[in-house]
Every structure is written in C-alpha cells, then in structure tokens.
Amino acid sequence: MTNNKPKVEGRSDEAEGPDGGWGWVLVGALFVSTSLVFGLMRSLGIFFVEFVQYFEESAQAISWISSTGLAAQQFFSPLGAALCNAYDARVVVMTGGVLAGLGLILASQATCLVHLYLTMGLISGLGWGLIFTPMVATVMAHFTRRRTLVLGLGFSSIGLSSFAFNPLFQLLVEMYAWRGALLILGGLSLNIVACGALIHPQRHSKAPAKVDSASRSSCASVLNRVSSYLELSLLLERPYITYTLAVTLLNVGYFVPYFHLVAHSRQAGFSEYQAAFVMSAAGVTDIFGRVVSGWFSDLRHFRLIHLLTMWTTLAGVFIMLLPVSSLSGSYTALIGISLLYGFCSGALTSLVFAVVPKIVGVERMMGGLGLLQLIESGAGLLGTPMSGLLKDITGNYIASFMVAGSFVILSTLTMATLPHYFSCTDPLPLQRRSLDDKDEGLHSELKLMNSVSSDKNHKGVNDLTDEVTKYPQDCVG
Amino acid sequence: MIPGKRRAAVMFFSVAIFGALMLQSVSSQNEPSIAASESITVSVEGDSYTLQCNLTSSHSAQQESYWMKNGEEIPETRSPNKNTEYLLKKTKGDSAGVYMCVFTFAMAPAANATIEVKAAPHITSHKRSENKNEGQLAVLYCKSVGYPYPVWTWRKLDNGIPREIDNSTGRFFISSRDNYTELHIVNLDINLDPGEYHCNATNMLGSHDEMIVLRVRSHLAPLWPLLGVLAEIIILIVIIVVYEKRKKPDDLQDDDDHAGPVKTNSTNNHKDKNLRQRNTN
C-alpha cells in the first residue's frame, strides 16, 4: 500500500504533473521570460544615469520608475492569476508580453518624467504581472518530482541575465541613445509573446462548475466567480495566511543587502572596485544556490518546508554577520560571508514558490501565487526605506543589517507555526470549501461507484483512500 | 667772463650733478631690490627645481614673504624670511606657469619678482569620442598644461589628410582661452560631420596634438534592429502555431492530460469527465 512509503511527499502529488517532455520546453520559456522581466528590471540602472541628465531631475525621482514597475508587477499578479483561472494561461501570458513590450516602446517617445512613470512603470508593470505568476504556475503544474529543480533553473536566469544585460544595455545606449535603446528593448520584450505561445491552450476553465449552475447573471454569483478566480477564500485559511505572513517578513529583510552592501563596503573602507566585486561575488553564488538547492530539494530527503526554514535561518544569520565581518577590516571575511549569504538567499528563492502548492494544492496554486505576490509587495516597499532611515539615524549600516536579519529569522519562526510543521510528511493540501457540503457527500459516493467499476484507472483507488483517510501518516522510519 | 660768475656756474653744475647722483641713490634706496633666480624651462618630467628670491636691500622693515602661482597665492608658503625658496618637486606638466615671490613691508607697498617656469604644451584632458544625434549641438574640447599659453588649432581628418576646418557652412565656432579650447558644431549633419578631429596646442617650446572621434547617430538607426527582432518573434510564433496544428490530431488524447494542472482530489466533475472519455476511447 502507498501508506507505507517512507517518502515524505503527499501521495496526492504523484498523480499530477507529467515530469519531462514538453515541460522542459516550458522551463526554457520560463527562463527567457523571467530574464526579460526581472533581469531587465535589475539592469535599468544604466538608463537612470541618462534620464537624470536628460530630464534634469533628481536621482530619487528617477528611481521611482523602477519602484513603480516592481510595485505594478506585484500588484497585478492576482489579476493575472484570476484571468488564467477564468480564461487561458496562454492568452494571458501573450497579452502580458505585448503590454510589456508596448510599455517600453512608448517609453522611448517620452517627453517628460510622468510619461516614463506611466509607460515604463504602469503599462510594463501590468504586463510583467500578467507574465510572471502564470508562467511560474504553469511550469510548476507540469512537474512534480523535479519541481524545485526547474524553478531553480528558471530563476537562475535572473542572475545570469543581469550579468549579460548590464554591458548590453550600456552598448545599446551608446550606439542608439536611450530612446533607441528603449525601442529595441521593447522589441526584445516581445519575445515573451513567443514564450507564451509555447503554453498549451487550456481546454477547460478551472472555475468550479457548481458555481455556474445556479443563477447566472446575478450580482452575487458574479462576485462569487470573481472571488473564486482570485482564490480569495485562501485568505481565510490559516496555513496560507501563516505562510504569506512569513514570506512578507522575509521580504522586509531580504532586499536590504542588495541595496546597501556596496555602500556598506565603501564605508568600511574598501575601494570602489572591491565593493563592487563583493556584490558580484554574492550574485554568482546566488545563481549556484538556486540551482543546487533546487536539485537537492528534489532528492526528497527532507520536506520542502524544512529546507526552506534552514536556508532562511542561515540567510538571516549571514545578513547579521555581514557588518560584523567588516568591523575587523578584513576583506576576506567580508567576501566569505557575502558568498555564503548569496548562496543561501538564492537557495531560499527556489523554494519559496515551490512550497505554495504543498500548502494550497496544485489546483489553487495560481491564485495562491498571485495573492502571495500582492501581499509580499508591501514588505519590499517597507524594508528598504526603513533600513535607509536606520542608517541615517545611527550613521552606519550595522543597525540596518541587524534589523533585516532579525526580520528574516522572525519569518523562520512564523513558518514553524505552520500546521503539522514537525511531522515528517507533508500534510494534504487545503481543499476548496464547496458551497454545498451535501453535494460533496453525494459526489464522493458517485466517484466510489465509478472508480470501482473502472479498472484502468489506478488514480481512482488512490483518491478513494485519500478521501477516506484525511490525516497524515506518522513517520514509518 | 667775470671770474666770480665762472665760479658760481661751476658750483651750480657740481651741486646739480651731485644732487642728481644723490637723488638717484636715494630713490634706488627707496625701492627694495630682489635677487631672483632665472626663468626655468622644464625639459624633463620628474626633475626638481628650486626657485629662489633674496631681498637684498630695503629701506623699511620687512614683514613677510610668500609665493604666488598664476596670480593665486600658494598655501603654506608664508614666512618672515628675507631669503625664500620654493621647491618644485617632481615637475609635472601643471608645474608650468608664472611664479611670483612677494615681500610685504610694514610701511611700504609690497614688492615682487617674477620667475617663469616654461614647459612645452601637453594636452591632458579631452573626450576620446563623442556620440550625438543629428541636428544636435556637439562640443569638442581640449585642455592642456604648459607655459607660455599655447596657440590652439583645430583640424579635421579628410581622407587621411588633416585639414583646417572649413567653415563655409557657418556651423563651426572655436573659442580658445589660455589652456582651454572648445569647438562647437551646431546642427550636426550626418554626411559631412562625422570623423576624426584634432586639437593642436603649440607654443615656443613645442606642440602637442590629440584626436577626438565624432559620431553622428541617425534618428532611424534603431529601427533596423527593432525590425530584425520583430521578424524573429513573428517567425518563432508562426513555427510554434504550425507545429501545434500539425501535432493536434495525434495528441488529442494526451492534450486533455497536459492542459493545465491535472486535477486529482478536487472537483469531482472533472474526474468523471476524464473517466468517461477514457471509457469511450
């Protein structure tokens, strides 16, 4: 019987996601689209120098462009998820690609700063929001055993592309001026449309059929459908809320080293090149961390949530150690801690999204990811200004790093309060509560009859045992 | 002549001459005299030179002495000495200029002596290349060190031959001052203006020449890569759609499994659908 397996995954996972085949093509599509979304966002710094010169505005006003873009991407994530639930993921991603490219092409014609906020910030951000969550959810749905590995491979593109894009953007700006460079980037972003075309068209909508059967055009039913597309019911469930809170706390501290490490190294007395090298070294180990952690998690020696907790704790500890290591003035210590920090922060990135289907189930994963992105966006906006404020008050970065590290450790503690945290096997994912519990009982009986009559489908037997025994098994070994 | 008048004339002339001599020596006593070292020509970079000024005579009490370079006081050179030195350590190009040692007095105006440190011009700063859009204004500049201040000339390389800038179009403006020169080109023309420009600094000791490359970007230049990228995307999408249409009849069965996440213990209706399809197939 499947109950005796020592493996720690939930048994429901094995029935999903054909590993391999077309899935690898989608991993390539995820690689390209993630690099064109986040890799591009990270390398926009090259343009900011040009904007400051051309529009004669302060650096802070210009930096709002990328903040608006990132905020829009995270804010519109639930919208992207809901549209995928209602319609076709393929159409949503292709539309997102068109919007992202359009935003950049329009930005090349901007005559004032507000135009840039609206085009590069809002329109492109909306496009990016429609791309990222659906792509990640689609890839995760196509893999079960290698889910974390493919996520690690997909997200490693962010680090690699920021290495490649920085010199490329510099070259484009020199050859074509910033307007021409933005025009070409808009064209490059349209490649995401081709990535989206690789997703298979969806046959059936994910909306639960029960909702449609009742009154169609009443306001209440429309609201019900919308809330089911957005998976708003997840907000009422404790495991999801706990996890979202943990990720939000993580985000408060996670970005602080990216923004302040170079400045802190300079303040500790190292030269410009040494400080920049520290950042690059952390970036390289970040890429390794993503792939290695993805591969290691898929070996199934530990539960994903336990691995995530471990990486998060280590990352928090290393963030706190960063200012301490440079106190002694030793460059080796600073590089060492930064390398370790880079590895851990990359490692935890692969796992953060992979844990979501474990908590909410593959069916509600799309909406779950969207809501998660929306809620964690607030933390990102809070964390960096707060650390900057701490630096202004205390005069150095020790306090900022300490607080950031403590937020990360706090998120670990929050994760430990997830239900069934200390068991060896994953609990079953949350079931979507149906409107009518009586129907649930009736349908399960029907299923029982059908599954008994069919001998081809062994899945039915598994589901039968799952329905009957809703409690996780104890560790066998 | 009457003997008395001759004696009076001799007396008068000798007094006059004596008086003139006295006046001269007195007046030269009123001006302080400074012995200063000779003008120096810096020939080898890195040598050290010492500039010396000695106040040999003055009739009022001396207060201080200090050095000035090119009209500005050099800090930390003030001292109460009569003999003052200024050491030029490891001469570089910007050591050249007009140096002055200044002596201040309690009851008289200051006195100074000038020592020139000459060097051949050396162009220290210039932009190696300038990229501008057509129709814009381009400013090419060169900065040099050396003394005396050089004469600047601008030339453009035309088929390998440097030629003086042809201002028949009236778009070129040169402004030079001391050690700095600028060439302004208004309303850049994409056919005539791109190329190599040379700024030349020449003084009596030597000359130096530097090159600046001017590139003019056309407004339409980025359209070609954009069209290339768009073509690539359209070709990719066509390939994907055609591939899908070809595989569609073969994979009609499998597509139902691959489309979206396969549902398991969720809504039961879809499970029944799958079961039914399997049974009919």
- Chain B positions touching A136 (Cβ under 8 A) are none
Which of B129, B230, B264, B270 best probes binding to A when mutated, by most A CB atoms within 10 angstroms?
B264
| Three-state secondary structure call for residue A170 | helix
| A454 in any annotated domain | no
**pLDDT > 60? residue A209:** no
Number of residues assigned to chain B:
281
Q: What DSSP character marks residue A123? A: I
Domain final position from A146, A180, A201: A201
pLDDT of amino acid B80? 83
Q: Give the strands of the sheet with B83-88, arranged side by side.
A: B33-36, B49-57, B83-88
Question: Minimal Cα distance from A208: which residue of B?
Answer: B267
**pLDDT > 60? residue A206:** no
Same domain, A373 and A297: yes
**pLDDT > 90? residue A343:** yes
Domain final position from A201, A221, A241: A201
Q: Give the minimum alpha-carbon distance from B94 to chain A in angstroms, rounded to a whole number.
A: 27
- Residues paired with B79 in a beta bridge: B65
Phi, psi of A327 (to 5 degrees): -60, -40
Within 13 Å and on the Cβ side, how many CA atoms surround B238? 6
Neighbours of A289 (CB within 10 A): 28
Do the interacting molecules here have an ipTM over 0.90?
Answer: no
**pLDDT > 90? residue A60:** no
Which of B255, B265, B269, B278 best probes binding to A when mutated, by most A CB atoms within 10 angstroms?
B265
> Could you give the CA distance from residue B77 to residue B65 in angstroms, rounded to a whole number?
8
Q: Which residues fall within 8 angstroms of residue A296, CB to CB, at 6 or more apart?
A: A307
Closest CA relative to residue A59, chosen from A49, A71, A69: A49
Span A431-441, pLDDT tens digits = 655 444 444 44
Q: Do B229 and A184 touch (CB under 8 A)?
A: yes
Note whether A304 and A358 are within 8 A (CB).
yes
What average pLDDT score do residues B23-37 get?
66
Task: Please name the residue that has the structure tokens 């920049």.
Answer: A276
Nearest by CB to B226, which of A183, A201, A447?
A: A183
> Could you give the CA distance from residue B147 to residue B121 in angstroms, rounded to a whole number?
7
- Chain B positions touching A459 (Cβ under 8 A) are 264
**pLDDT > 50? residue A91:** yes
**pLDDT > 60? residue B70:** yes
Nearest by CB to B260, which of A141, A175, A180?
A: A141
- Chain B positions touching A431 (Cβ under 8 A) are 265-266
| A453 in any annotated domain | no
Task: Please name the residue that has the structure tokens 């079960």.
Answer: A144
- Chain B positions touching A22 (Cβ under 8 A) are 258
Same domain, A257 and A186: no
- Chain A positions touching B223 (Cβ under 8 A) are 183
pLDDT of amino acid A99? 94
Q: Do B279 and A22 touch (CB under 8 A)?
A: no
Question: Minimal Cα distance from B251: which residue of A?
Answer: A200
Q: Do B257 and A18 touch (CB under 8 A)?
A: yes
| A383 in any annotated domain | yes
Closest CA relative to residue A318, chosen from A341, A335, A346, A339: A341
**pLDDT > 70? residue A67:** yes
pLDDT of amino acid A466? 42
**Between residues B19 and A340, which one has the greater pLDDT?**
A340
Same domain, A384 and A302: yes
End-to-end CA distance of chain A: 16
Q: Give the minimum alpha-carbon distance from B137 to chain A in angstroms, rounded to a whole number.
A: 14
Poorest-pLDDT segment among A17-26, A37-46, A299-308, B68-77: A17-26
Which of A195, A450, A468 best probes binding to B when mutated, by most B CB atoms within 10 angstroms?
A450
Distance of CA A312 to the CA centre of its chain: 15
**Between residues B48 and B23, which one has the greater pLDDT?**
B48
A180: its two tokens: 């021409």
Closest CA relative to residue A196, chosen from A107, A126, A128: A128
Q: Give the minimum alpha-carbon distance from A245 to chain B in angstroms, rounded to a whole number.
A: 26
Q: Do B222 and A181 touch (CB under 8 A)?
A: yes
Nearest by CB to A22, which of B226, B233, B258?
A: B258
Q: In terms of residue numbers, what domain contains A309?
A: 230-429
Q: Do B233 and A193 touch (CB under 8 A)?
A: yes
Which of A203, A360, A469 best probes binding to B when mutated, by most B CB atoms within 10 angstroms?
A203
pLDDT of amino acid A425? 74
Same domain, A165 and A44: yes
> Could you give the CA distance from residue A456 to residue A460 in angstroms, rounded to a whole number?
9
Which of A2, A229, A363 best probes binding to B when mutated, by most B CB atoms within 10 angstroms?
A363
Same domain, A154 and A42: yes
CATH number at residue A256: 1.20.1250.20
pLDDT of amino acid B251? 54
To the nearest whole number, what is the mean pLDDT of chain A?
A: 80
Distances (CA, A) of A138 to A205, A369, B202: 14, 11, 71
**pLDDT > 80? residue B217:** yes
pLDDT of amino acid A41? 87
Q: Do B267 and A208 touch (CB under 8 A)?
A: yes
Same domain, A356 and A410: yes
Same domain, A182 and A271: no
To the nearest whole number, what is the mean pLDDT of chain B?
A: 79
Q: Do B259 and A454 touch (CB under 8 A)?
A: no
Q: What DSSP character marks residue A111? A: -
| A313 in any annotated domain | yes
Amino acid letter, B68: M
pLDDT of amino acid B161? 81
- Chain A positions touching B271 (Cβ under 8 A) are 447, 450, 460, 463
Which of A109, A173, A185, A206 best probes binding to B when mutated, by most B CB atoms within 10 angstroms?
A206
Same domain, A118 and A265: no
Same domain, A186 and A137: yes
Distances (CA, A) of A233 to A81, A82, A211, B174: 14, 13, 14, 73
- Residues paired with B151 in a beta bridge: B202
| A358 in any annotated domain | yes
| A214 in any annotated domain | no
Note whether A26 and A198 are within 8 A (CB).
yes
Span A131-186, pLDDT tens digits = 999 999 889 888 888 888 899 999 999 888 888 888 888 888 888 888 899 999 99
Helix axes A398-415, A365-394, angle to 10 degrees: 150
Q: Give the strands of the sheet with B129-133, arranged side by side.
A: B129-133, B206-217, B195-203, B151-158, B161-164
Pairing of strands B62-69, B40-41: unpaired
- Chain A positions touching B264 (Cβ under 8 A) are 12, 15-16, 362, 459, 462-463, 466
Phi, psi of A113 (to 5 degrees): -65, -35
Question: Minimal Cα distance from A440: which residue of B?
Answer: B268
Q: Which residues fall within 8 angstroms of residue A6, CB to CB, at 6 or more apart?
A: A476, A477
- Chain B positions touching A446 (Cβ under 8 A) are 268, 272
Same domain, A376 and A245: yes
pLDDT of amino acid A413? 92
**Between residues A426 and A417, which one has the greater pLDDT?**
A417
Q: H or E stretch including A249?
A: helix A238-254
Note whether A64 and A122 are within 8 A (CB).
no
How many CB pairs below 8 Å do chains A and B form together? Answer: 126
What's the number of domains chain A is made of? 2
What average pLDDT score do residues A208-223 get?
62
Q: Do A363 and B266 touch (CB under 8 A)?
A: yes
Phi, psi of A256 (to 5 degrees): -60, -50
> Over the Cα atoms of chain A, what is R_g?
23
- Chain A positions touching B236 (Cβ under 8 A) are 191, 194, 197
Q: Which residues fall within 8 angstroms of residue A368, CB to CB, at 6 or more apart?
A: A81, A231, A234, A240, A356, A357, A359, A360
pLDDT of amino acid B2? 67
| A265 in any annotated domain | yes
Q: Which residues fall within 8 angstroms of residue B273, CB to CB, at 6 or more apart?
A: A204
- Chain A positions touching B257 (Cβ under 8 A) are 18
Amino acid letter, A71: A
pLDDT of amino acid A211? 46
**pLDDT > 50? residue A330:** yes
Domain final position from A429, A449, A469: A429
Same domain, A258 and A378: yes
> Could you give the CA distance from residue A352 to residue A368 in angstroms, rounded to a whole number?
12
| A211 in any annotated domain | no
Question: Minimal Cα distance from B232: which residue of A?
Answer: A191
Burial of A91 (0-12, 13-18, 19+ CB in 10 A): middle
Question: Minimal Cα distance from A441: which residue of B?
Answer: B268
Instruction: Give the pTM.
Output: 0.68
Nearest by CB to B222, which of A22, A184, A450?
A: A184
Tell me whether B235 touches chain A (CB under 8 Å): no
Same domain, A78 and A190: yes
What average pLDDT score do residues A44-55 get?
83
pLDDT of amino acid A289? 92
- Chain A positions touching B222 (Cβ under 8 A) are 176, 179-181, 183-184
Distances (CA, A) of A59 to A32, A113, A391, A473, B57: 30, 12, 19, 57, 62
> Could you give the CA distance from residue A98 to residue A92 in angstroms, rounded to a whole number?
10
Span A349-385, pLDDT tens digits = 889 988 888 888 888 888 888 888 888 888 877 777 7
Note whether A166 and A72 are within 8 A (CB).
no
pLDDT of amino acid B233? 93
Amino acid letter, A84: C
pLDDT of amino acid B29? 53
Closest CA relative to residue A16, chosen from A173, A143, A130, A139: A143
What average pLDDT score do residues A423-431 get?
71
Span A226-268, pLDDT tens digits = 787 777 877 888 888 899 999 999 988 888 887 788 778 877 7
Task: Please name the residue that has the structure tokens 């649930």.
Answer: A440
Q: Give the minimum alpha-carbon distance from A152 to chain B in angstroms, rounded to a whole number.
A: 20
Note whether B78 and B110 are within 8 A (CB).
no
